[in-house]
Amino acid sequence: MSPLDPSLLLIDGDADAPELAKSLAALPARVRHAPSIDAALADAPAEAPALVLLNLALPDATGLDALRTLRYIEPYARVPVVLLATAPTEEVQIAAYELGIEEILAKPIAGAVLAARIRTMLARLERTRDLEPHPGMLFDGRYRVVRPLGRGGMGSVYLVEPTRGATGSRTGSPAPHPMLALKLFHRENADRAGQIDRFLREVQVLACLEHPHLIKVHDSGVVDGRGYYCMDYLDGGSLHDLLAREGRLSPVHALEITEKVARALALAHDHELLHRDLKPDNILFDRAGEPVVTDFGLVFDASAARQRRITDSGIIVGTPHYMSPEQILSPTEIDSRSDVFSLGIILYELLTGDVPFGHLSGIDAMLKLAREDITPPIYVAPDIGSGPNMVCMGALRRSRTDRYPSAEALADAAARVHAQLVPHPDA
């Protein structure tokens, strides 16, 4: 692997910030200084920095608010963050660490001391990077890494080839396909007590589920404290890719996809598993063009203490434009109707070409979803007809008691309207 050539982002509006930036310039890293979170995001390069240094006191937001914003925005969502704070309270420290902060450094801090601390962190990042899967690597002694497939908020996905040692799955499923997709959780998502045990229990349940529109899980394990699982490799692209090509889908096609996805979700819900991050990127197509629900990286077992989330914290987890109101306002108190809402958002996008409040940033969209009713899609795309509009809005009621009570009910509604739109061949 090539040597790490990192960049640092210092977000600090204090008078001493330029001097701190000057001290950091002596490190083997490029340093960018922004006085506020807005300035940092307005001039953000495409490449993620190796480390963000964030002052708790900012002119446009608190450091904690800024950190929450960074966690929703690429390329910052998984970047380690060091918080600079003057006499932080215990409550602030707890909130910062629950938001995944790397370290809290007290201000004022001498530039030479800060540079030494950051130099140590960069060295650790370099060592950690060497442990990441790379092409040709034999992962867990069982899977030959072919190439990376993508990186998300909870983990990275790799195309892998099972070796002879992988023919017997730990989950008891049949011998894997010639090529599989391996999802490995990010290191920062694997350091909380009990998380790995819950992850393995949930993946074992997923591995036992059989549905044509639900990803098939073949194997799972833990390497260096990080959970992973292997699933079918689907090379037909994603629903996001389809929308990018088509703009929007016909009501018939949109309802057909919605019904199939809802049936798959219903099976998972029957086994007390919630998805919690349903979006077009997580719906892939197989070679036959059939949609498959995948990426259960945020799944949690609703039967285990009912509301114990996989992060075990109060952090909101999900994708802002697709989150239900209760997932935003009370993330520890969600049920299967939250997935129903997210699928309703997807149907809205399939019918209109955009999500509700699509013109807003993630944080602003979340506030709207939590507080305001969604304008029916028929007002955006009058040609969709009343039936698809009714199905969509039945999933998008702000109060979950007013929505379809289950994914199965949504699937049934989509099937009924689909049948009305597609004449029977014998008719």
Catalytic sites, residue numbers: 277
Q: At what angle do helices 90-98 and 63-70 cross, to 10 degrees?
A: 0
CA dihedral 9, 13, 16, 17 (to 10 degrees): 10
Cβ neighbourhood burial of 73 (10 Å; 0-12, 13-18, 19+):
middle
Q: At what angle do helices 111-129 and 17-24 cross, to 10 degrees?
A: 50
Distance CA 382, CA 369 (A): 22
Distance CA 137, CA 37 (A): 39
Helix (H, G, I), strand (E, B) or coil at 307: coil
Chain-centroid distance, C-alpha 218: 22
Q: How far is CA 368 from CA 37, 47, 73, 278, 288, in A?
A: 22, 30, 18, 19, 38
DSSP string, 370-390: HHSPPPPHHHH-GGG-HHHHH
Chain-centroid distance, C-alpha 334: 17
Phi first, then psi, for residue 10 (nearest 5°) are -105, 115
Distance CA 415, CA 256 (A): 7
At position 358, the amino acid (one-letter code) is G
Determine contact, residues 279/319, Cβ cutoff 8 Å.
yes
Residue of 317, 156, 275, 142 whose CA lies nearest to 220: 142
Distance CA 218, CA 423 (A): 40
Cβ neighbourhood burial of 223 (10 Å; 0-12, 13-18, 19+):
middle
